[in-house]
A and B are shown apart, each in its own frame.
Chain A
Amino acid sequence: MAREQLFVGLEIGTTKICVVVSESLPDGSIHILGVGETPSRGVRKGEIIDFSSVSECVREAIIDAEEKSNVEIRSVWVAISGAHLQSFNNRGTLILPEDHNAINDEDLRMVEMNAKEVILPPSNAFLHTIIQNYHVDGNKNVINPEGMMGSRLDADFHIVHGVKTRIQNTLRCLENMKLDVEDVVMNSLASAQVVLTQHQKDLGALVVDIGGGTTDFIVYVDGAVRHSGVLALGGDHITNDVSIGLRLPIVRAELLKIEEGCALPPERSLGGKINLKNDPGFSGCEIDRKALDTVIHARMNEILQLLKREVERGCHLDLLGAGVMLTGGCTRLKGIASLAKEIFQLPVQVTTMDNLSGPTSTFENPQYSTAIGLTKYANAVYSQIPEETFFSKITNTLGGLFRRR
């Protein structure tokens, strides 16, 4: 296997920092070589708040991944999250001269540039410009206009932008470790690479990645990204609520959430008491299960209701034929799929990752979907770009990945 076909995905999450080393197989699938992981410190709601702590954690995770995969890591693909990420759809238009022969690569770049001619807040920068559809002389939904004749080229793009300095903080953290950053990818976009098939994207699907500090989502309609965003709410909020409501230390509240937590309404609670054993610094106690379920359900219900409202701003739920795919660490919470189904009134499933090989414990765990998705994203980018021009063309052709096939 050539060295260039190894990909490293790095996710700096609120709960954990995860590094996945994988290699691409000839059939287009991904083989995971190793996963490095360390609990995260210095990250809140998906954003870095303590630079040195995060740097230290990333270093530990990288070393862990190097040891497990027996690969020396020099460059990474990084996932980014945070409520500062925003998105919108915009159309670029290019009037082609009469003597123009056929639409070429340069025209596609020009139309993309036109679509990006919008006024962002001064502190923000573009993160992704993802093609949705081309229109040639009013002919809608052209998948690839290259080589076609036409006098007017329109292109719809999904544009993601975020606060420049917050994105740079992530990059600086890696620069200090002499790691090259191949690209920065929005969390949900990376997750969607592994949890959705092309067929599901064509049918229309919502991917929800509920992590510790954020809930990232992306909506695909007709095979293209229609809407995306980040809510600064996640599993940490559930833990915090449990800690305050049941008067437990954060660590015990987190454990209780993982072991006994349920997102279903308290009316459907099993009832009874949960016995918490003594720990150093914590004298055991009995917890009322219904109280625990009340706290968790209230928060989870709120997150999903907010998410529903946010998704509805971008597209109608009826367009999501494939339903809702839940991923991220928080989806291990019992009853979350049922609750989401009640709220969205759509088929909901906690996703599994297909087309992967390697340690099953890795790809069966929704916690790793973003980091694994990054490597799949990298593989897809890499496979579409000739090797010699990889670095120069990478940003210009990213959009092609998300085109309808």
Chain B
Amino acid sequence: MSCRIVGVGNAGGNFLDRLLLNNPFFSGLVAINNDLDALTSSVVPMQLALPPEQELLTALEQVLPQFEAEIQEASVILFCAGLGGETASTLLPHLAAAAKKAKKLTLACVTQPFSFEGKRALSLAVEAISSLKKICDGVVILDNNRFASSSASKAALGETFTASDEAMQVFLPNMLAMLSSKGPVRINRSHLLKALSRAEEKIYFGYGQASGSNRLHEAVERLFKSPQLQGGRVLAKCSAIFMQLRGPKDLSFAEAQAAMQEVERVVGEESDIQLSVSAEEPAGAALQIFILAVEEKAEKKEVVPNVEKIPASVPKKSEPSEPSPAAPLPKPSVKELPLDLPELNLSEEILEFQKPATAKSVTKVKQMQGALNFTAAQRGRFDKSEPTIVEGEDLDTPTYLRLGLKLS
């Protein structure tokens, strides 16, 4: 599977430069910019320069054939940019549309501007994100303000930008590796793409790596400390989770199993976790865990009674009981009835409607019960200490529990 990573604007070009400097063998990078100075200093070999004197969209029209030719052989186009500036915010949706039109899988990873960059920058970014969501198969948004809030208050500005850059450095190669995974256990690519295309709201990612005897648990710990995962809490509300475990040849089955268990502890019960395992890294390389989590937009189903279709057995009470003042009930509208609503379901809903009215009885939002974390109880006083892992087993958990011994 061939991929192209397209960096748009100054920030996009910077991301690619850093990516290339960290891994000189990375290929398929394309930088697009109207800042010729920035392009000149860039190390990205494939550069598309927009004439700076022209309007952005006019200039884009000139390089668009060249761009289309460049992406022709690729099946996945991954855009990266820092939104908020004119160049990226204007060009990115058009470039994405061109890629989509060429029937490429189109993904975008963009950063939202810092709050100090002003309202205009934010509105440009919001507008661009809104367009990208309509066009792309998946959009990952890195909010720079989150990096700013997680940095020390006196941290240098450069440090905060670096944190944002590093997040992008993590996402780009790992996303590509996930899409082209070749290990013994792979993620079903169609599932991944389907989840990305379903995602109307948010896509999160996290990354952790570690070496040494306790590498798995250290990597998982770092993974949960990723800025987007908020200690793993956001995973609880994600419906689809894609996890990629990469390491050298000594990556063990027990480690893969333990990684899955660690993640299962924090995700919701209904979450679908898919794992990809690859042990093709060079000897001595660190164990790496990358997670991409998709939060689907909760669907709000307005359920209102259909008075005309009420079965005879059900008392005809079109007027609901008085709603409680704490939860005022919207007046049901017969006109808003969905015509294809199954009759049985409808009567059930009506019965519910006759109960003392609450918001719950009218608006049925998919509820997810948070998973109760048993880990703390199992490890007791060692909950916050470095785990003792031997052959993938956490020996701080009581032995009798791990052996399944019954205490009379």
Measured CB to CB, the residues of A under 8 A from B are: 44-45, 49, 83, 121, 231-233, 236-237, 239-241, 243-246, 250, 288, 290-291, 294-295, 298-299, 301-302, 306
Contacts of A298 in B (CB 8 A): 398-400, 403, 405
CB of B22 closer than 8 Å to a CB of A: no
A250's contact among B381, B399, B403, by CB below 8 Å, is which? Answer: B381
The answer to whether B395 touches A295, judged by C-beta atoms less than 8 angstroms apart, is no
25 residue pairs A–B, Cβ–Cβ below 8 Å:
A44-B385, A45-B385, A45-B386, A232-B388, A233-B388, A233-B395, A236-B381, A236-B382, A237-B382, A240-B381, A240-B382, A240-B396, A245-B401, A245-B407, A288-B407, A294-B400, A294-B405, A295-B398, A298-B399, A298-B405, A299-B398, A299-B399, A302-B395, A302-B399, A306-B390
The answer to whether B398 touches A244, judged by C-beta atoms less than 8 angstroms apart, is yes
CA distance A288 to B408 in the complex (A): 7
CB-CB nearest in chain B for A213: B385
Minimum C-beta distance from B35 to chain A (A): 40
CA distance A295 to B377 in the complex (A): 16
Minimum C-beta distance from A246 to chain B (A): 7
CB of B321 closer than 8 Å to a CB of A: no
Question: A45-B388, A233-B388, A306-B390 known; A241 and B407 CB under 8 Å?
Answer: no
Instruction: Please provide the 5 A-B residue pairs with the shortest distance between their CB atoms, ordered closest to farther.
Output: A241-B398, A291-B407, A298-B399, A232-B388, A240-B380
CA distance A83 to B378 in the complex (A): 21
Contacts of B380 in A (CB 8 A): 240, 243-244, 250
The answer to whether B377 touches A244, judged by C-beta atoms less than 8 angstroms apart, is yes
Measured CB to CB, the residues of B under 8 A from A are: 212, 377-382, 385-386, 388, 390, 395-396, 398-401, 403, 405, 407-408
Minimum C-beta distance from B391 to chain A (A): 10
For B382, B386, B399, B400, the residue with the greatest tally of chain A CB atoms inside 10 Å of its CB is: B399
Contacts of B382 in A (CB 8 A): 44, 236-237, 240
Contacts of B398 in A (CB 8 A): 240-241, 244-245, 295, 298-299
For A239, A290, A299, the residue with the greatest tally of chain B CB atoms inside 10 Å of its CB is: A299
Minimum C-beta distance from A119 to chain B (A): 11
Question: A245-B407, A250-B381 known; A295 and B388 CB under 8 Å?
Answer: no
CA distance A294 to B404 in the complex (A): 11
Minimum C-beta distance from A250 to chain B (A): 6
Minimum C-beta distance from A168 to chain B (A): 18
Contacts of B212 in A (CB 8 A): 121
The answer to whether A246 touches B407, judged by C-beta atoms less than 8 angstroms apart, is yes
Contacts of A302 in B (CB 8 A): 395, 399
Minimum C-beta distance from B51 to chain A (A): 50
CB-CB nearest in chain B for A250: B381
CA distance A131 to B179 in the complex (A): 54
The answer to whether A49 touches B385, judged by C-beta atoms less than 8 angstroms apart, is yes
The answer to whether A245 touches B381, judged by C-beta atoms less than 8 angstroms apart, is no
CA distance A250 to B385 in the complex (A): 16
CA distance A232 to B399 in the complex (A): 14
CB-CB nearest in chain A for B400: A298
Minimum C-beta distance from B212 to chain A (A): 8
Minimum C-beta distance from B372 to chain A (A): 16
CB-CB nearest in chain B for A306: B390
Contacts of A301 in B (CB 8 A): 399
Minimum C-beta distance from B32 to chain A (A): 41
CA distance A302 to B395 in the complex (A): 9
Contacts of B405 in A (CB 8 A): 294, 298
Contacts of A288 in B (CB 8 A): 407-408
The answer to whether B400 touches A295, judged by C-beta atoms less than 8 angstroms apart, is yes
CA distance A290 to B378 in the complex (A): 21
CA distance A295 to B406 in the complex (A): 9
CA distance A240 to B398 in the complex (A): 7
9 further interface pairs, Cβ-Cβ under 8 Å (given A243-B380, A245-B398, A299-B398): A44-B386, A45-B385, A237-B396, A240-B398, A241-B398, A241-B399, A294-B407, A298-B403, A301-B399
Contacts of A243 in B (CB 8 A): 380-381
The answer to whether A295 touches B385, judged by C-beta atoms less than 8 angstroms apart, is no
CA distance A35 to B398 in the complex (A): 34
Contacts of A233 in B (CB 8 A): 388, 395
CA distance A288 to B406 in the complex (A): 12
Contacts of A83 in B (CB 8 A): 388
Minimum C-beta distance from A330 to chain B (A): 15
Minimum C-beta distance from A291 to chain B (A): 4
The answer to whether A237 touches B395, judged by C-beta atoms less than 8 angstroms apart, is yes
Contacts of B377 in A (CB 8 A): 244
CB-CB nearest in chain A for B389: A232
Contacts of A232 in B (CB 8 A): 386, 388, 395
Minimum C-beta distance from B399 to chain A (A): 4
CA distance A240 to B400 in the complex (A): 11
CA distance A49 to B384 in the complex (A): 10
CA distance A83 to B213 in the complex (A): 10
B400's contact among A231, A245, A306, by CB below 8 Å, is which? Answer: A245
CA distance A45 to B388 in the complex (A): 9
Contacts of A236 in B (CB 8 A): 381-382
